[in-house]
Structure 1
Amino acid sequence: MFCGTRTRSFSSWLLILVLVVSLCDAGLYSQQPTATYSVKVKVVNMLATVRDKHGQIIRSLTKDDFTLEEDGRPQTIRYFTRETDMPLTLGLLVDTSRSQLRLLDEERTASHSFLDQMLRENKDNAFLIHFDSQVELLQDATGSRQKLEQALADVNMSREEQPVSGSPGSWPGGGGHRHGGGGGSSAAAGTLLYDAVFLASDELMKKEQGRKALIILSDGMDQGSKLSLETAIAAAQRADTMVYSILFADPQFYNQGPFGGWGGHRGGWGRFPQEDHPNGKKIMEKLATDTGGRFFEVGKKQSIEQIYAQIQEELRNQYSIGYTPDRPNPGSGYHKLHLAAKQKDMIVQTRDGYYWDR
């Protein structure tokens, strides 16, 4: 009897010991770090406007109505929405060189009405830059109509009319809000269009989220920019920013005689054959088409107010499209995109590529 009792007691203690060890092992195991793996997935986003053959915006399409290619490779659209409710950041870039001075009052009035109607309270922001021999940020991104109205009132030619030093300054950071032209250039001869687009894209738009668009009011005649047109366009593309370019030229200025323009330089174009000066229209068209925006020209057929109304309608009726490239690493550099509607008589307006930056 005694022996049997001891045997049963020993067996019971052995079972308890096994359970305790097992529980301890389980606890220790659960506390060990678990290996995790993360994969960075690149999502390419694009905004598109679709029109019929009559130029009317089409608002009723689905993702199945589109085909998409990257570098000639078919892609699958994974994200699609017809109503873009994302925040909007607008950048207004106004040319204030001598050739534009007679147009500034009209530009101020139309721009004030556009921003007042376009910006949604507590959701959208806008900033304002003017450029001639300087690129000056008059108002950083804000939703305040009062601040934007004051900035529009300040749109005018830069005060600096003497030769500019070689230092470009620190725009818009470092306590400065101006970016100067090349060394030895003067305010009279400067129109830093390319520099203005680059700075607006690289230093302002790049940090913003949501939809982004630059609106440029200019005759397209760049003079004195340190950067090239291609560099300016690349900056806008890297910042996922569309450019809406409005060609607004004063024909009286360019038709003046050899001494009628500013120092006979910008105003003296009338003395030279057409091919001797840059084609402002082609420059403005390229800024728009290469970034997925749109080109407009103020003239007898359409006023600046009518153009602003078209831009407003377009920005409120875009398709937001996103996809993940079929190649995990397409390679650094620029990749061509082709978005098309399956119905042949529809015209799709969007950017034609993106930069893959690792």
Structure 2
Amino acid sequence: MKPLIAILALTAALGQTPAQPRLQKVVLNVTDASGRFIQNMRAEDFIVEEDGTPQKIAAFAQESEAPVSFGLLIDKSTSMRLPLYVEGKTPTPAALLAAAGIGRALVRLMKPQDEFMLMTFDEDVQVKQNFTQDRKKIDDQLYKLNTVGGATHLYESVAKALGRMKKAKHRIRALIVITDAYDTSGKELDDLRPKIAEHEVQVFVCGLRAVYENVDPTAVPLFELVLKTLAGDTGGLALIVDVPELQTTSTVEGLIAFAHIIALNLRGQYTLSYYTDKTTPLSSRAVRVRTIHPNLRVRIRRDAMQ
């Protein structure tokens, strides 16, 4: 009986269709020791390994000219109210003013084929301008941002904003979040992380950190954790700025520089692909990409690996 079972098992195994190799996509950036993005790399400059085994690059492209869909999500909750910036007779929350400034800097870095969506949030998300290629429409809405109010439902708002990014028409998508990062909804950061993973959108976060004498010191590391998690889970970047410094020239220049870094990050992406016969989840495989140039650093967008 046992020989018969063995024969039947062997017959069944031989009858199975072998796993067909599939194309594994990897999206990445390359920077030098100073953090500058490196362009004009070639396929032969990269070494790809999966679970320690070298892989042959089957397709390669640089995304420098690819159009981008930008989504800008600005926190306008009550906690963004201080300090006040007075221009003429109209007081405007400096944090909100800085957020609008970053938005205007990004708009000026847009290419003609790019599109832009503007959203604000407190307890919910408000779409101020749907995706458009008209820079003036975005600019006009940014100049209208001058009031704050409401609680900070950061996690739910980011999730909703990512959902709205599905309407973007371009493959490269980025959500820029400007917030003080103090969620008051009672939700947990871990509730948001699975939702982030559902979307192929890079998240860039500018955190405006309040520095007051009565701030709970334990809130500072939490603030940094929230920002770094939102950005890190998607291959984006995070910038933290102390609120009292918002009106200094160097800080304003730093915020504008962050907008430039976002644009360079998106324009400096490479996409390479290789064939794999692995059927295990991507999270259980070790995919490593490096360059033949030891002074260059490769950063893989894990959210964009398909």
Alignment correspondent of 1:114: 106
Are residues 219 and 158 of structure 1, via their aligned partners in 2, closer, same or farther at CA, if it must alter by over 3 Å?
closer
1:136 correspondence with 2:136: no
Letter in 2 for 1:127: M
CA drift at 1:355: 7.3
Equivalent-residue separation in structure 1 for 2:207 and 2:134 (angstroms): 27
CA drift at 1:340: 2.5
Equivalent-residue separation in structure 1 for 2:178 and 2:240 (angstroms): 10
Equivalent-residue separation in structure 1 for 2:282 and 2:38 (angstroms): 35
Structure with higher strand content:
2
1:235 correspondence with 2:195: yes
Are residues 111 and 41 of structure 1, via their aligned partners in 2, closer, same or farther at CA, if it must alter by over 3 Å?
farther
- Contact 1:335-1:354 at 8 Å conserved across structures: no
Number of residue pairs aligned between Structure 1 and Structure 2: 268
Deviations 1:94-122 (A, max 9, x none): 1112222321123213311321x22222x
| 1:350 aligned counterpart, secondary structure | strand
- Give the greater-gyration-radius structure (CA): 1
Equivalent-residue separation in structure 2 for 1:193 and 1:239 (angstroms): 17
Are residues 143 and 66 of structure 1, via their aligned partners in 2, closer, same or farther at CA, if it must alter by over 3 Å?
same
| 1:279 aligned counterpart, secondary structure | helix
TM-score, with length taken from structure 2: 0.74
- Contact 1:95-1:130 at 8 Å conserved across structures: yes
Equivalent-residue separation in structure 2 for 1:231 and 1:341 (angstroms): 36
Equivalent-residue separation in structure 1 for 2:291 and 2:280 (angstroms): 24
Question: 1:61-100 maps to which residues of 2 (within 5 A)?
Answer: 61-70=41-50, 74-100=54-80
Equivalent-residue separation in structure 2 for 1:271 and 1:55 (angstroms): 33
Equivalent-residue separation in structure 1 for 2:190 and 2:127 (angstroms): 22
Which structure 1 segments of 5+ residues have no match? 1-38, 160-186, 256-269
Q: Residue 330 of structure 1 is aligned with which of 280, 294, 300?
A: 280
- Contact 2:78-2:148 at 8 Å conserved across structures: no
CA drift at 1:212: 0.8
Alignment correspondent of 2:299: 349
CA drift at 1:217: 0.9
| 1:330 aligned counterpart, secondary structure | coil
Question: 1:41-60 maps to which residues of 2 (within 5 A)?
Answer: 43-60=23-40
Are residues 149 and 54 of structure 1, via their aligned partners in 2, closer, same or farther at CA, if it must alter by over 3 Å?
closer
Are residues 88 and 45 of structure 1, via their aligned partners in 2, closer, same or farther at CA, if it must alter by over 3 Å?
farther
Equivalent-residue separation in structure 1 for 2:62 and 2:40 (angstroms): 7
Larger RCO: Structure 1 or Structure 2 (Cα < 8 Å, ≥ 6 residues apart)? Answer: 2
Equivalent-residue separation in structure 1 for 2:48 and 2:123 (angstroms): 42
1:244 correspondence with 2:194: no
Equivalent-residue separation in structure 2 for 1:40 and 1:131 (angstroms): 46
Mean Cα deviation higher: 294-303 or 194-203: 294-303
Mean Cα deviation higher: 124-133 or 96-105: 96-105
1:104 correspondence with 2:55: no
| 1:58 aligned counterpart, secondary structure | coil
Alignment correspondent of 2:290: 340
Deviations 1:276-331 (A, max 9, x none): 6761112111111221111222356652112112222332222232344333x434
Deviations 1:71-93 (A, max 9, x none): 66654332212343222001111
| 2:64 aligned counterpart, secondary structure | coil
Are residues 198 and 74 of structure 1, via their aligned partners in 2, closer, same or farther at CA, if it must alter by over 3 Å?
farther
Letter in 1 for 2:128: L
CA RMSD, aligned part only? 3.1
- Contact 2:22-2:277 at 8 Å conserved across structures: no
Alignment correspondent of 1:198: 159
